[in-house]
Structure 1
C-alpha cells in the first residue's frame, strides 16, 4: 500500500507507555517526506520530497501505474544514453556496410551530444535541434542516419522500461528529407562530353549510368551473365561494396535485385566492350569480408592492376578529369604541397548521370512507378526527388480535353 514516511520525526513509546513523537537523527537535514510504494515485483521503492503533499501524490501515482501495468521505475531513467547505445550496437542486426555507417555517425555526431545524458532527460525538441543542425551542416542523408541510431537506442530504453515513451515518436521530431528541387540536371552536351572523355576500357561506365540509371557500385559489379541481349534488359543482381579496407560483392541497395531496360545504344557499346575486353572470372566474398566466395565474369577491370574498379581511383583519375573536360568543374589547382586537387562537391558525382536518366524518362512520359522500378526506389522516394521534373499536369489536362473537343461537335466551334 502506498504511503508517506516522515524522515524527521518518529513515533516511540514514552515513559508512561504512551506513543510520543521524537526527532530522528536526520532532523532538519535533507528532504523530510519519503514517498513509499511497491513495484510490479513487490519490491519496495521510495523517493524523498521536501513537503508531504507532493510525496503523497507521487506514491499514489506510482501505485496507480503499477495497477495499470504502466509502471516505470523512476531511477531506471537515470541510466545514460551511452550505456544503452553500447547495448543497442551489440544487438542490432544490419549488413556490414550499414553497421560501419551507423558506428561512424554515432561516434562523430550522436555520441558527443547525448552519451552523458540520462535517457529520461532527453526531450523531443533536443533531438529535432540535433537533426536540423546535422542536415544544415552536412546532409539530409547523414541526419536521417543519426535519427535511425537515436531512435534505435531510445527504443531499447523504452523496451527495458527506463522511459515510458520514446521521445523520437513525438510529432516534433521530423524525418529529414531530400528535397527534389536540389537536383540539377546536366545538359545533353555535358553528358556527351563526359562520355567522350572516358578511356576506351571504361567508356561503358557513364554510358550505362546515363542509359540505364544504375548506381555506380552496381555498374562496377556488373557481370556478363547479367546482360540479356535477346530481351534487351540488364539484371541488376549485385554491387561492389567497400567494408573498411576490404571489398565484397553484395545485393543492390535495399537488398533488392531488379531488371532495367537496355537501350540499343547501350547494347552496342557493351557488345564492343565485350569483344575488345572479354570478361573473366572475378571472385570476392559475398556480403561480409569472411562471407562465402562469389565468382562472376566481371565486365570492368582497372587497367593498371586488373582488379575491380574502385570508386576513389575512378573518381580522381577518370571521372573528375572527364567533368573538367565537360566544363562542369574548373581544372585542378595545386595545394600547399604542390599536389593537384579538384574542387568538387557531392553534386558533381556519377550520381548526376542517374538524375539525367530520370529526367529523360519523365520527359518521355514514363510513369513514376516504372521509373521507380528501374531506379530501385520506392515510388514515393522517386516522387520526392524528381517530382518537380514531371511535365505540367495542367497543360496535359487542357490538351487532352481540347484534342477531344476539336472537331467533335461537343461544343460550338466559335464561328
Structure 2
C-alpha cells in the first residue's frame, strides 16, 4: 500500500506493515505469550520471525531492540496481549500516541509499532475482501504496476502528506517513460489504495480524485489501421502447417490470442456454422489455466464456409487431444478440452513461445518487420511494437465486418466487447463513407419516374 503514519524514531512503511501484519495473523495461532517470552529475540527469532521477514520492519522503529532480548520479548508479549484484546472487543479505532518532545522512548516506539500493526491487519483484511473478485491475471498486473511504479514514488510517504499536485506530477512524469495503458493502470492502483485509506478514516478525501488531477485514458489516441488482405494472407502462410488455421480463425472470426489457444473441437458447430467462444488459455505467473474469455463473456461467432473448411482440414491432419488445466486459478478445478492447437510435442500453447518462434518469424516473412538481430548470447531479437501484435487479426476482422454492413452492436457481440460504445470508439473511422448511402437513400425515396404531358418521363415530382 502507500504509507502508514511515521513517527520520530522512524517511519513504518505501509506495505511492510501490511505484510508483517499478515504474517502475524498466520503465526498467532502457534505463537503465544509464553513461548514469546522464552525466546531470546522474538522479533528476529528464526522459527517465529525469520531474518528475511525482519527485513520488512523499518530499522528506525525496531532496529535497536535487536541488542536487547529481554525488552524485545516483553514488548512482543505486550503486543500480542493488546492484539488479542482489540480483536476480542471488535474495536478497530486506534489513537496515535502523542509524539514526545525528545527522542521517543522504547515503550513509546513499541506502542506506535503496535498501533501500526493492528491497523495493518484491519486494512489487510479489507484489501483482501476488496480484491477477492478481481481476475487473477488482473491482480498480477496490478501488483506488478504497484511494485515497479507506485511503490518507488509513494511507499515511504505518509498518506496524509500526499497532495493532488503530487498525484498529478506522478502521472505526468510516468507518462514520459511508459505508455498510456500503464499510466492508466498505475492511476487505478493509486486511486484504489487511497479509496481504502478514506474508507478506513486514515484520510478524509482521496487526493487522486481531486478536480485538478486529470483522469488518464489507456487509449493512445492513434487510429487503428487494419492490415491489407495481402498482408494477412502472407502472415497466415508464414505459420507452420500445424498452426496455420489459428491466424485464419483469428482473422475471420475475431478471436483473441488466448481464445485461439483455448478453442476446442467441441466448440466448433459445423451444422450451425458458428464457433462457441467459451474459454481462453492464459498465463498466471508461472502457471497456465483455462478461464472465461475477457469480461467473463462467452459468445457465439458466425463461421464462414471457408473458415469451416480450413478447420475441417486441420482437425483431419492434427487430431485434437485432451488437455487438462485448472479453471481460472492454479488451484482451480481441473477441466479437460480437446483444444485445436498444440505444439507438435503435445504441450499446450504458451504466449511468449508462440510470439518468439511463430508469430514474429511470420511477421518477418510477410515483410512487416525486419530480420532479427542477435545479442551477445546469440539469441534472436526482433524489433516490434504493439502495432504488430496478434490483435491485428481482430482489427482485420472488424474492418471486413463494417465494410460489408455489419452494425456496431452485432460487431461488439462478435468481438466480445462489453459495450458497443467501446467498439464504436475504436472502429468508428473504419465505417464506410455515409455520403453515398445518404444520396442513394434520398434518390430511392424522393425521385420516382412519372409521366408528364408531352409523353416523356421525368424523375422529378
Q: TM-score by structure 2 length?
A: 0.68
2:156 is equivalent to residue 116 of structure 1: yes
Distance 1:180 1:384, change over 3 A: farther
- Superposition pairs for residues 107-186 of structure 1, below 5 Å? 107-171=147-211, 172-179=213-220, 181-186=222-227
Per the TM alignment, residue 131 of structure 1 is displaced from its structure 2 partner at its CA by 3.1
2:343 is equivalent to residue 302 of structure 1: yes
Distance 1:387 1:125, change over 3 A: farther
Contact 1:144 1:175 in 2 (8 A): yes
- Superposition pairs for residues 15-414 of structure 1, below 5 Å? 89-91=127-129, 92-93=131-132, 94-171=134-211, 172-179=213-220, 181-303=222-344, 305-377=345-417, 378-407=419-448
Contact 2:273 2:304 in 1 (8 A): yes
Q: Deviations over 1:205-230 (max 9, x none)?
A: 10011000100010000111111111
Per the TM alignment, residue 405 of structure 1 is displaced from its structure 2 partner at its CA by 2.5
Q: Distance in 1 between matches of 2:96 and 2:228?
A: 73
Contact 1:127 1:173 in 2 (8 A): no
Q: Distance in 2 between matches of 1:45 and 1:333?
A: 61
Q: Deviations over 1:329-373 (max 9, x none)?
A: 011122233332211112111111111111111111211111111
Q: Distance in 1 between matches of 2:284 and 2:96?
A: 50
Q: Deviations over 1:211-254 (max 9, x none)?
A: 00100010000111111111111111111111111111111111
For structure 1, list consecutive stretches of 5 or more residues without a partner in the other structure: 1-40, 48-78
Which residue is 1:74 aligned to? none
- Structure with bigger helix share is 2
Q: Distance in 2 between matches of 1:156 and 1:210?
A: 43
Q: Distance in 2 between matches of 1:132 and 1:319?
A: 34
Distance 1:228 1:369, change over 3 A: same
**Number of residues of Structure 1 aligned to a counterpart in Structure 2:** 341
Task: Name which one, 1 or 2, has greater alpha-carbon Rg.
Answer: 1
- Structure with bigger strand share is 1
Q: Distance in 1 between matches of 2:300 and 2:168?
A: 38
Q: Deviations over 1:287-328 (max 9, x none)?
A: 11111111111111111x211111111111111111111110
Contact 2:127 2:196 in 1 (8 A): no
Distance 1:390 1:271, change over 3 A: same
Q: Deviations over 1:104-160 (max 9, x none)?
A: 000001111111222223233432343344445322322222122112111111111
Per the TM alignment, residue 387 of structure 1 is displaced from its structure 2 partner at its CA by 1.7
Instruction: Give the superposed CA RMSD.
Output: 3.0
Q: Distance in 2 between matches of 1:267 and 1:44?
A: 69
Q: Distance in 1 between matches of 2:421 and 2:311?
A: 32
Per the TM alignment, residue 273 of structure 1 is displaced from its structure 2 partner at its CA by 0.8
Q: Distance in 2 between matches of 1:267 and 1:246?
A: 32
Instruction: Find the residue that maps to 1:137 and give its secondary structure.
Output: coil
Q: Deviations over 1:11-59 (max 9, x none)?
A: xxxxxxxxxxxxxxxxxxxxxxxxxxxxxx9x99999xxxxxxxxxxxx
Q: Distance in 2 between matches of 1:128 and 1:380?
A: 28
Q: Distance in 2 between matches of 1:379 and 1:137?
A: 32
Contact 1:128 1:174 in 2 (8 A): no
Q: TM-score by structure 1 length?
A: 0.75
Q: Distance in 2 between matches of 1:103 and 1:247?
A: 18
Distance 1:180 1:274, change over 3 A: farther
